[in-house]
């Protein structure tokens, strides 16, 4: 028997009846090559927006549990329609909700994490020669409540299932050809990468490249899932995500910009031990992902603390920061929304002085002020003014010679 | 503690955002009177049609299991939206799918029957002072697959839950004021009945009055559930469904017409013992509801067998009848679609010669040919040509003096 293939199709790929038929044809092709198939799908195109819109009209602040109940229907519609389309082409298929597919999560609605996958039902369906169609983005809590995995959750579902059934590979189908050196909608010289390491992909994903959700890349790395990102609209090879050792050479792999963040600053925080911890632990308790954190020592007895958060978490983070400032007798809480985090990504670049110098030099020549800097093993990120974001990306892409050489 | 009230709101009552808010207000009103509440809802207005339309485009003959997977999302959207609306009004609510609510059914997709209800979750939610919002029309099979109860299934869900939680009453909210002597859209003299017996309601329901699904009435009778049919758009009292003993007097209670049926005739069936049984048992196995059955002895060695079936079952019934005719060496299978079943309903009327004579006399004077007749304890039905249906109903409504006396 050939190895299992897991495929994931996003909302654009499932956008209308014709596209669902296109997806069905692709799935059937792979099945007829002899592979047991698991297909993970998202909600059709604008379905989720429509549901959210109705919800907000009824209650501007709906409970997370009820939002999960509502939004999970989008994927349920997709799986049943795709199963029908495949059956119409003469192959056997069965659709499974997250719950039916054994995807157990914690009870953190809207941001649930997968705790375990019971593959019994999938294995039974393989024995019946069924193509298994799974609702992405959702699971079930111990209480029996429907949960959703948050943004990009369908990628996570696909990778987790690929790990659970020891799939040969996990193909993420999307509306672009693969992973690019930078956003091809903004920089026409952007070049598609044939391969990239998990760690690099992880940084690109976290930095808003938008092709793959970081949690899915983390999972793929952890369980060594063979991941491929490719287009559902053509037959191009896409981008393989591989181990570092398999890469040709170490280099700057891409430039990204993430404007979906905001900077929060709390001024004049008393400089006593553990005071910052109070703030950050409060934020962590609400599952708010803190990205960059900077404490500016004011040479007096207090600091300014600045950090960035995703825009989605801004309201909650602001209220936590405000409560914190009052409690510790800090100063103002200042929000800056029009910021962009521009980053260069590539294994080993942080240790390379030339790379850093070219980065800072390029921005400096453009007269762009760097508000915050953070680095990891494989990336350097700068918070700059949102207005300068596109210019910075294009210039860096050019400076690091990442383009097609047009 | 006051008694539990179960309310059911149909698709029209849940038709748009404003109507959902209207439903929420009604529910909250009852809750604030101190009643624990279970609210069963259908899919919003045209949702189901839209889903069916997409399905048919992908597969003209989709599997029943996948249709159930698809259609059950309609109610899931409704329950979450209603829960949000109620929470927005300051009351606590929780939405439950059929599965979460413990509604176990057989595995007969699209026509499943409720086998049991485990009320544990509902009781827990009552203890938390939650208004419990339940998805009508759906349940879960032993395999963990989502099933639907077929037409009018939300009524059945409501009554079954009312029985399971020993509710004080079960209110079925709809877009008409209650049960009428005949269809008020067709006969302007139609009068709303303040009360009616279970058996009469059952006949009216079966005969296509459309207000309540027969299975729900059967269940209500079996478990003595206090049933009320009323409008969700005003505060009128509606129609109570009561025990016969509580009715004022025996009389013709209503006139109905059902055009959603077809007649199937198999000619020249050999007159051997058990031959008709073969046909009818085949139909029964497919859960096809046979209504009227007539065997015309041809004074030779074979019979003509005619029966009526709901239009929904026509395709399947025809193919069974055709296979049967071939097997037993019968003659043609003849389908007649443009028929109407006109009925008068009232406890005790079958034993009343005057009633029968007025019925047949009225139709005869109008020159309407009666193709088939059937009677039960409380109704007399005639199959006539569909063209004469409206005339027959109006004339009978008048002849039996059921109107408002305008």
Mean pLDDT of B317-343: 91
CA distance linking residue A308 with residue A386, whole number of Å = 14
> How many other CB atoms sit within 10 Å of the CB of residue A272?
11
CB atoms within 10 A of CB B335: 13
The answer as to whether A329 is a domain residue is no
Q: How far is A84 from chain B (nearest CA, A)?
A: 6
Whole-number pLDDT of residue B250: 58
Chain B residues near residue A55 by CB distance under 8 angstroms: 80-81, 84
Mean pLDDT of B232-248: 81
Task: Look at residue B353 and tell me whether its pLDDT is greater than 90.
Answer: no
Element of type H or E holding A176: none
Task: Choose from A47, A75, A77 for mutation: most chain B CBs within 10 A.
Answer: A77
- The answer to whether the CB of B41 falls within 8 A of the CB of B86 is no
How many domains does chain A contain in total?
1
Domain membership flag for residue B402: no
Residues near B79 by Cβ (< 8 Å), separated by ≥ 6? A69, B41, B95, B96, B97, B133, B134, B135
pTM: 0.79
Put simply, whether B294 touches A (Cβ < 8 Å) is: no
| pLDDT tens for each residue of B257-278 | 989 899 998 888 887 777 877 8
A95 domain residue, yes or no:
yes
pLDDT < 50: residue spans in chain A: 406
Is residue B78 included in any domain, yes or no? Answer: yes
Within a domain: A331: no
CA nearest to B351, candidates B241, B247, B252, B208: B252
For the domain that residue B106 is a member of, what is the CATH number?
A: 3.40.1160.10
**Interface contact B293, partner A, CB < 8 A:** no
Find the CB nearest A55 among B69, B84, B95: B84
- Is residue A220 within 8 Å of residue A271, measured between CB atoms? no
Please judge whether B83 and A72 are an interchain contact, meaning their C-beta atoms are less than 8 angstroms apart: no
The alpha carbon of residue A57 and the mean position of all alpha carbons in its chain are separated, in whole angstroms, by 28
* Tokens, residue A28: 């059937």
Residue B4 DSSP one-character state: P
Instruction: Please write the tens of the pLDDT for every residue from A291-341.
Output: 777 766 555 667 788 889 989 889 999 999 999 999 888 788 999 999 999
E strand or H helix at A265: strand A261-270
Which tops the pLDDT comparison, B217 or B297? B217
pLDDT at B107 over 90: yes
A254 pairs with which residues across the strands? A345
Please report which confidence band the pLDDT of residue B115 belongs to, taking 50, 70 and 90 as the band edges. very high
Under the phi-then-psi rule, with left for phi > 0, alpha for psi from -120 to 50, and beta for the rest, what region is A224?
left
Once rounded to an integer, what is the mean pLDDT over residues B23-46? 95
Query: What are the residues whose beta carbons fall under 8 Å from the beta carbon of A113, sequence distance 6 or more?
Result: A105, A106, A149
Residue B406 has pLDDT above 60, yes or no: no
Chain A residues whose beta carbon lies within 8 Å of the beta carbon of residue B76 = 69-70, 72-73, 76
CA distance B281 to A273: 83
**Is B110 part of any domain?**
yes
Does the residue B240 lie in any domain? no
Q: What is the pLDDT of residue A282?
A: 86
Note the pLDDT of residue B280: 84
Host domain of residue A24: 5-175
If pLDDT is split at 50, 70 and 90, which confidence band does B374 have?
Answer: confident
Higher pLDDT, B297 or A374: A374
- How far is residue B357's CA from residue B9's CA, in Å, rounded to a whole number? 41
Nearest to A51 among B54, B63, B77 (CB): B77
Is ipTM over 0.85?
no
Q: So what's the pLDDT on residue B372?
A: 84
pLDDT in tens, B62-100: 999 999 999 999 999 999 999 999 999 999 999 999 999
Q: What is the DSSP letter of B180?
A: B
Instruction: Copy the structure tokens of residue A87.
Output: 């059956």
């Amino acid at each position: 028997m050939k190895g299992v293939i897991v495929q994931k199709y996003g909302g654009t790929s499932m956008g209308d009846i014709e596209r669902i038929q296109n997806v069905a044809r692709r799935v059937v092709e792979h099945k007829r090559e002899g592979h047991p198939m698991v297909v993970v799908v998202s909600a059709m195109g604008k379905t989720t927006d429509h549901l959210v819109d109705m919800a907000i009209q009824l209650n501007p602040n709906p409970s997370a549990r009820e939002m999960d109940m509502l939004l999970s229907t989008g994927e349920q519609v997709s799986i049943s329609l795709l199963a029908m389309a495949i059956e119409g082409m003469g192959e056997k298929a069965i659709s499974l909700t997250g719950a039916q597919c054994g995807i157990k999560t914690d009870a953190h609605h809207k941001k649930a994490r997968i705790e375990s996958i019971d593959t019994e039902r999938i294995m039974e369906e393989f024995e019946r020669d069924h193509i298994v169609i799974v609702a992405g983005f959702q699971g079930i809590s111990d209480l029996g409540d429907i949960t959703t995995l948050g943004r990009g959750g369908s990628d996570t579902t696909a990778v987790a299932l690929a790990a659970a059934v020891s799939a040969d590979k996990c193909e993420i189908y999307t509306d672009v050809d693969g992973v690019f050196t930078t956003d091809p909608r903004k920089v026409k010289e952007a070049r598609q990468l044939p391969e990239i390491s998990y760690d690099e992909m992880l940084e690109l994903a976290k930095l808003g490249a938008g092709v793959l959700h970081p949690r899915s890349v983390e999972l793929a790395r952890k369980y060594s899932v063979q991941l491929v990102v490719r287009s559902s609209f053509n037959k191009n090879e896409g981008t393989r995500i591989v181990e570092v050792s398999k890469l040709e050479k170490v280099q700057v792999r891409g430039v990204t910009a993430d404007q979906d963040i905001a900077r929060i600053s709390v001024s004049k925080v008393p400089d006593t031990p553990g005071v910052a911890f109070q703030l950050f632990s409060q934020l962590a308790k609400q599952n708010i992902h803190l990205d960059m954190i900077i404490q500016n020592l004011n040479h007096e007895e207090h600091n300014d603390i600045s950090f960035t958060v995703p825009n989605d978490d801004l309201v909650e983070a602001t209220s936590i920061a405000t409560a914190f400032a009052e409690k510790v007798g800090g100063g103002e809480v200042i929000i800056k929304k029009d910021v962009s985090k521009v980053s260069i990504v590539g294994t080993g670049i942080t240790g390379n002085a030339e790379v850093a110098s070219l980065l800072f030099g390029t921005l400096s020549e453009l007269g762009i002020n760097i508000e915050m800097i953070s680095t990891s093993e494989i990336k350097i990120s700068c918070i700059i003014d949102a207005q300068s974001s596109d210019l910075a990306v294009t210039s860096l892409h050019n400076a690091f010679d990442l383009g097609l050489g047009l």
